[in-house]
Structure 1
């Protein structure tokens, strides 16, 4: 989504019922905050004097948060839909362009076929034999529905489609092709395909075998409608809420996944700049994404063609809910949330704002701890603040969860779709390789040379020249070679490997046996993906077809092998699909988890990917996505098992399952997540005669200090590092704003480091509790705040070590929740004794901080310094 465009929130809200419910709840709570503030001003203005500013700040913060939360929810949902339909729109055009690139090579090669050229030149007149040859080509390259040979005047010499017989054509493409040195690409109505409203034709002139003069035109007619139907069937959303389209340069529909909805020929609005603006077509409002061709191997496709997906706004936000969070381990869910800043910035801001309100309520409870008598009115106000704060917290937590689910659901769908696209690209590409080897095995020059017996130097040179010509047209191969019936290579492009001539070497016996056993010209053999001396010792696929003797004998006299340049070709597929997804890494693997190709330098081809065995056993064509841990990171993984393309791997007898796997990384795994507040709510006793404690979390456990010892809590993001030696637990200073307006600093110590021996992980929820004892103040870093409950004396018991507790920080435990929850009570006096340095003041001003550190005071907050 283009962030420069203001998002029209009110436009989208009517279509997001869950966000509307959230907004209504926020308004009700906002009203409650106003009533509490008004009640405090009316009923106990004097007693509430010290907390009224805090309440006002809370209400102001709530107003801001209400707007930010709704805006964030709407923006995230709209952004996810635009990203999802944008990915599909991009892949529609990318798949088409990659496919048509192969057609430009096909027409260039077939137009130079010596037998076809001789026929068009009038050097031989067996039309039936030529028709059989063209049908043999069509039986291998099944993407064509018609092949036509014409003379220079447009007379049809041979065609293969008997359903639409032609005598001739007056189409201008004939003259254009005869005048061109290359191929001509035509998409429109043409008399060459009279039964179609529009046809995609690749044409190239044919030259006289002896004189080189133009003698006719070859037309390859691409089965456009069938191909687009296959793309739409494979990649359209299962619920059919959106429509996938292919557009021309005038924004006119040339292919539609649902023609009853948006017909071919319609002109539609386009959105090439990721705008969130709604667009109207046929009286209905849509979110739209449009992508022009990015090109493939320098080929840009037919001029102006674009991929587009349109989804009506009234259904765009339905049916996308998931339960990803509920199925996750709590630690993993908390760990993912801890990366909210990079994972989802709006989510991070909401979490930070929710923490602010919790801290305000916690501080308000601390401020009035221990007050009795006339101040009970204020206690009642604080109880209302606490209850409303809890309701607010629950609403924020649920809203955060909803937003989190939205982000996860989109990422799960996206990773699964990308993996599906990858195996589709792979199967489509390798389908062409199976076609190529079978067709080139029919080359008459190859058949005659091998049938004649031993291939001499002159014949080998002629064969090498033919193979070089083919290899220049089809650059996806590093080598094309021909071998005789004994498996000896007699001709090869790139004639040396590692300084050693390829000609004269032999293919392996298993491959030779497999090629000899091929029953017909429709059959082929593929070597397993493994290291090959013909590919520099690197792993690849080599496609083989039998070369048969001319005539009725058709005995196998040798074979042709084409070495697929797997390294750069597979890498290009992976990079192309992941280009605009910088957090993703992609793999092609086999059923055993062995890597075929990877964007991860640490897992090259031939290594193994550790993956759930259940995913390796998924049925062909199946996809799955899930949240996993990968290489010490939280990640969303999507995988899809190949299912073939057209007849390739479907009905041609070849089986080689490939699994595409993508990982979308969301940050490093964090071992200790903060315990969830809702999982540790305390039940306090009656509200008289007890002691109020301020409770908080450290390393997932609850601790407490007497509320009377607490000054306030501040966000850990306000801690500033101080470049000064000393004990490792001292991590910096934090500023305090006094009522007089002055600003003092206190030292901050890492409580986790003191008790566990390792530094705490500081995130958006981390807090600093400022404590006071015997006239001194210090700050302690904790993971999160909890509450300020009151406990009765009978709930407080000494620890088993209390009789010999000198030096221990925890000498008492509090039995909460009827004894089911134990809270460790810190001894504040002992804490100060451990932390206070007699040589340093506990409260400093800025001048003293600079003096103590020799002007090495660093005012950068720890969170940013990290």
Structure 2
């Protein structure tokens, strides 16, 4: 979370039924451990003295774990909700600011349109022709619902919305605009839009084409309500439980996804720092996230505007639970869980605490092995310890799984949303490019110059100056160029910069033919995303529109091409979507998986992204997410296919599907067997031989209980590099109450058996094993229990020679033969490790002295 404010657990618990159930189960088990401990102290204090310290440690562990587990579950659930609504709140404000940035360029360019300026100056008086021109502009830039031209006194000279006629205005924005050299943005009630409670207007003064005197004002009226409805619509889910808002600087609602819920004009509480606290509005408690914009291209939008999402706490934690783990094989789930410390520290802490409890129970069973004949009372205590320990393990594992599901479910939702955001950003951006090329193709000077039989040097310079002016306003293009009816490029902005000159070059025949075939001024052509000399050999889109004769719109006299700065702009989009995600990569790809833009240097533009081919066939507008292994790392991946914006790619005939793919990484893939701790239940006998059971490479092994002393966490191994056997991984301190400190060498049992080192994670354990007065530690994968097996269940292995010359000479047939447990031959194990011919010191060769030497070093 972004805030360090303390989390008030009791405020959220009533709304989390699953956490309440978990808490109740923990209380019951805690009480059970206390009852067992009290019973042992009262009924058999002497016989139980060896296990009382273990039970006390177990109870203390429960006390700690109960609080940590409940707190972590609540914290992660609250963080998940805040992250989800926060992403949407940030999207609301960022997408609005990006959209309005384009408007600042539009008003600056249109205010210099020669035909419009001549009309406002009084040099021409054809109102119908000017209204037609303004409507032609609106037909391309469909985000505007009104365009007005006014004189310096506020009289409306022409407007396109005849259903809301305005004769004149006394709004102060006119004076502000006339006095400003650039654009003015206004959002409030205004007499320019009397039918609207509030209007967003971009205005700029207009100058006389010859004298430069201020002659009037251009007003572009943004269709604010319709655009905000579209933003909110793109974020709606099947079952909306939250409301999206756009706020002004005074925290007043200026747009609401559901006005019947929270209406425009209301003042609402805000949560800019993301603190996990409840806020009250209208007598109802909400979780709230609020974001201001970080700006776009230096433009910060209207002052104080904020995006906000509010969700009532009583529904914030309802809905379908995540089932992210169900699609994973158990081994992958276990491997991913080993990275819990990086993607969810609380989960890692709970795993560690749960492992500690399991180890405590196992140690208690080991310490009391062989004592069942002393007293029936002690035997009953031991049975209760085993039963309660199993119930505890089941609860811990299920709780950990629930928390794991919450974290992964949140991550999956997040990457899918980011991929949705990225394709939306792309379509919205490229929509503007289709508008620009079509409108600029109507520029009177361009139409007039290209209609000439041959463009002279002066005309070419004048056209280049126009293109340079446009390019300074619209910085998303590397160049804008025009070509004649034969495809010869006659003028270009920025021509010659960096030694790259295109004037005089010929357009390729296929593109020229496509431009000439365009039916009218509403049509455009886009070249495929391929390398082009127009973009210094890099791939990009080039948008084209036909330029038609001024006196005959049916005659194509040339065309205009605008070269989109794809490398820079697409990269900016991807990186903005990944803001705050350190271990993540994002890509734009086409339907063949070919990369259009990438944040991963190892997978550049033009290469093919290796993803499931099914994803490349996602229907437009749909998205999905899943857990995958990508280049040797666990990752959550989100993928969404574009759906277009307004008429762009929807009804204008242009088809170019792009998908956004997002990977968020958790860590390297660790191939390991799933542990199935709770699923592995043994149907053991009574009165037989006791074995300490444990896991190695996913299989169950056993060692005679009389040789097992205790288990210690693998994290306590002190690494020592003094040569010797490769299976020896270090030394470990043996701590027994009332005894002097002792040390033992630790050997990797898996390495001894398979010849390769074992991975070590939070669940790895060291079993302390003794034989013939010698003590060693064995590194194993995990612990299981200390069951009893009837002698008849213990059989020799097929290859056993009866002389003990193998590490595994017996197997235990458990669960009616459905499970075979390999029993380690302790005699052979110690003989191998004590082999004088092996490059290794004897097992007990002063491990304490070695440890002291290590400390001194």
* TM-score, normalised via structure 1 length: 0.97
1:247 aligns with 2:247: yes
Partners of 1:567 and 1:129 lie apart in 2 by: 40
Equivalent position SS for 1:115: helix
Distance 1:664 1:553, change over 3 A: closer
> In structure 2, what is the equivalent of residue 121 of structure 1?
121
What does residue range 595-614 of structure 1 map to in structure 2 within 5 Å?
595-614=595-614
Q: Which residue pairs with 2:445 in the alignment? A: 445
**Alpha-carbon distance between aligned partners in 2 of 1:134 and 1:270, rounded to the nearest angstrom:** 41
Structure-2 residue corresponding to 1:864:
none
Which of the residues 784, 787, 794 maps onto 2:785?
Answer: 787
1:352-389 CA-partner distances (Å, limit 9, x unpaired): 11111111111111111122432342222111111001
Give, in angstroms, the shift of residue 499 of structure 1: 3.2
User: What's the CA shift string for 1:137-165, capped at 9, x where partnerless?
Assistant: 00000000000000000000110001111
Name whichever of 223-232 and 668-677 sits farther off: 668-677
Q: Kindly indicate whether the alpha-carbon contact (under 8 Å) linking 2:468 and 2:493 is maintained by their aligned counterparts in 1.
A: yes
Matched, 1:705 2:706: no
Query: Cα distance 1:45–1:52, how it changes in 2: closer, same or farther (>3 A)?
Result: same
User: 1:383, 1:497 → 2: CA distance?
Assistant: 85
Does the residue aligned with 2:180 lie in a helix, a strand or coil? coil
Distance 1:425 1:812 in 2: 65
Unaligned segments of structure 2, at least 5 residues: none
Give the equivalent residue in structure 2 for 1:848: 849
Residue 176 of structure 2: SS of its match in structure 1? Answer: helix
Matches within 5 A, 1:446-485: 446-485=446-485
Match of 2:49, SS state, is helix
Residue in 2 aligned with 1:694? 692
**Distance verdict in 2 for CA 1:288–1:154, change over 3 Å:** same
Segment of structure 1 superposing worse, 107-116 or 793-802? 793-802
Deviations 1:445-483 (A, max 9, x none): 111111112222211111111100000000000011101
Per-residue CA deviation, residues 611-635 of structure 1 (Å, 9 max, x unaligned), is 1121111111111111111111111
**Quick one: distance in 2 between partners of 1:608 and 1:424?**
22
- 2:10 is aligned to 10
Residue by residue over 1:736-755, the C-alpha shift from the partner in whole angstroms, topping out at 9 and shown as x without a partner, is 11332422111111111111
1:590-629 pair list within 5 angstroms: 590-629=590-629
Partner of 2:573 in structure 1? 573
**Quick check: 1:723 aligned with 2:724?**
no
For 1:778, the equivalent position in structure 2 comes to 776
Cα pair 1:236 1:244 within 8 Å, conserved: no
SS in 1 for 2:324: coil
Query: 8 Å contact 1:744–1:844 — kept in the other structure?
Result: no
More moved, 602-611 vs 324-333: 324-333
| CA displacement at 1:674 relative to structure 2 | 4.0
Show the 5 A alignment for 1:159-198: 159-198=159-198
Give me the whole-angstrom Cα distance separating, in 2, the residues matched to 1:805 and 1:517.
Answer: 92
1:39 and 1:843 map into 2 onto residues whose CA distance is 40
Shift of 1:122: 0.8
Q: Report the Cα distance in structure 2 between the residues aligned to 1:498 and 1:146, rounded to whole angstroms.
A: 41
2:812 aligned counterpart, secondary structure: strand
Distance apart, 1:222 and its partner CA: 0.2
Contact 1:109/1:470 (<8 A) preserved: yes
Q: Distance in 1 between matches of 2:553 and 2:695?
A: 85
- 1:3 Cα deviation after fit: 5.0
Which shows bigger deviation, 718-727 or 371-380? 371-380
Quick one: distance in 1 between partners of 2:695 and 2:149? 81
Quick one: distance in 2 between partners of 1:137 and 1:192? 19
Distance in 2 (CA, whole Å) between partners of 1:804 and 1:497 is: 87
Q: CA deviation at 1:804?
A: 6.8
Distance in structure 2 (CA, Å) of the matches to 1:798 and 1:847 = 38
String of CA shifts for 1:203-250, please: whole Å, max 9, x gaps.
Answer: 000001111010000000000000000000101343110000000000
What's the counterpart of residue 812 of structure 2?
814
CA distance in 2, matches of 1:617, 1:577: 23
Q: Classify the secondary structure of the residue corresponding to 2:115.
A: helix
Map 1:333-412 → 2, pairs under 5 A: 333-412=333-412
In the alignment, the residues of structure 2 paired with residue 670 and residue 123 of structure 1 have an alpha-carbon distance, to the nearest angstrom, of 77
Q: How far apart are the structure 1 equivalents of 2:377 and 2:591?
A: 71
Cα 1:448/1:562, change in 2 over 3 Å: same
Aligned position for 1:759: 757
The 5 A counterparts of 1:822-837 are 822-836=820-834
Query: Following the alignment from structure 2 to structure 1, what is the Cα–Cα distance between the partners of residues 792 and 680?
Result: 21
The farther-off stretch of 50-59 and 330-339 is 330-339
- Residues 835 and 201 from structure 1, CA distance in 2 versus in 1: closer, same or farther, beyond 3 angstroms? same
Aligned to 2:745: 747
- Distance, in Å, in 2 between the alignment partners of 1:813 and 1:837 is 25
**Counterpart of 1:487?**
487
Q: Which runs of 5 or more residues in structure 1 are unaligned?
A: 857-866
Change (3 A) 1:729 1:846: closer
Question: Does structure 2 retain, via aligned residues, the 8 Å contact 1:744–1:845?
Answer: no
Count of residues in correspondence between the two structures: 854
> Map of 1:281-300 to 2, 5 A cutoff?
281-300=281-300
* C-alpha spacing 1:300/1:678, structure 2 compared with 1 (3 Å): same
Distance 1:559 1:634 in 2: 50
TM-score of the two chains, using structure 2 as the length reference:
0.98
- Contact kept? 1:236, 1:242, Cα under 8 Å: no
- Structure 1 counterpart SS, 2:33: helix
Q: Does 1:231 align with 2:246?
A: no
**Whole-Å Cα distance in 2 between the matches of residues 766 and 674 of structure 1?**
13
Distance 1:219 1:595 in 2: 41
Q: Is the 8 A contact 1:247 1:253 kept in 2?
A: yes
Q: 1:103 — aligned with what?
A: 103
Q: Is the 8 A contact 2:291 2:306 kept in 1?
A: yes
